[in-house]
Amino acid sequence: MNDVARPLAAVRGFLLDMDGTLYLSDRLLPGAADFLAYTAREGLPVLLLTNNSSRNGAAYVRKLAGLGLTVPPERILTSGSATAQYLRAQTPYTRPAIFGTPDLVEEFRAFGFESDMDAPDCVVLGFDTTIDYARLTRLCDLVRAGLPYIATHPDFNCPVAGGVIPDIGAIIAFVEASTRRRPEVIIGKPNRHILEMAAARLGLPLKALCMVGDRLYTDIAMGQAAPIQTALVLSGETQAADLPGSPFQPDHIFENLGALLAALIALRGG
């Protein structure tokens, strides 16, 4: 049983992963809706923080609505949006070659960027579920040519109902095998770029936050490095057998959001 009385009582806001934490594919996970309802009622702000850059914020709003959840767009931060924000605020680049879904291209367009595959000044790699061999070849060509190389996140797999599918980390490995280069900058979890954007979005200091997610090497690693509190849910990629020997150890472990909710209710009532 988790000894949660003192640490969880200090949490003033939650960063909540989506894939494998809130839902799997088109199935809401146990306790997800009740957790969001409870935190809203108790005045505990929640930011949905996802590394999945294959969809943009508007698409996630629609997906969540289809699952019966009403979440305003300002409460969703994707690694794609965070990457576009980083590019605009912290680099001189204006002509990215964007290797991603149409949703990612649209997300960059909202920040004033258009994808330039002919004469780019940098390369942006997202979780591109539309990629084919010709695009992989072009991606390797641009990376091999020495252009600045930025990735939205590092995840190797994306959890779905029934298992996992290859994520951007597999594409990064493919490109590295061909070009001997890895991205100079990776924005998403576990990197600090997206964490600082998330804290700013909630208007809370890092020490007041708890990161809830299903991956040790992104969700828990980010919290551990910050450091902020972390809660691992065993409803997605990570299984209990993965914990021994891992360098990334969560503060709390729960079967799912329903179990985390039960712990909060025990602490706070309601």
Closest by CA position to 264, among listed 70, 100, 41, 35: 35
Question: To 10 degrees, the CA torsion angle through 165, 169, 174, 176?
Answer: -170
pLDDT grade, residue 76 (50/70/90)?
Answer: very high
125 or 6, higher pLDDT: 125
Q: What is the pLDDT of residues 79-130, one digit of tens each?
A: 999 999 999 999 999 999 999 999 999 999 999 999 999 999 999 999 999 9
Q: What is the pLDDT of residues 131-140, one digit of tens each?
A: 999 999 999 9
Give the position of tokens 């994520």. 167
Give pLDDT, residue 6: 53
For the entire predicted model, the pTM comes to: 0.90
The pairing of beta strand 27-28 with beta strand 23-24: antiparallel
Mean predicted lDDT score pLDDT of the chain = 94
Domains and CATH numbers, the chain: 5-51+189-268 (3.40.50.1000), 93-186 (3.40.50.1000)
Give pLDDT, residue 270: 65
Share of the chain above pLDDT 70, in %: 97
pLDDT reading at 4 higher than 80 = no
pLDDT reading at 154 higher than 50 = yes
Give pLDDT, residue 3: 46
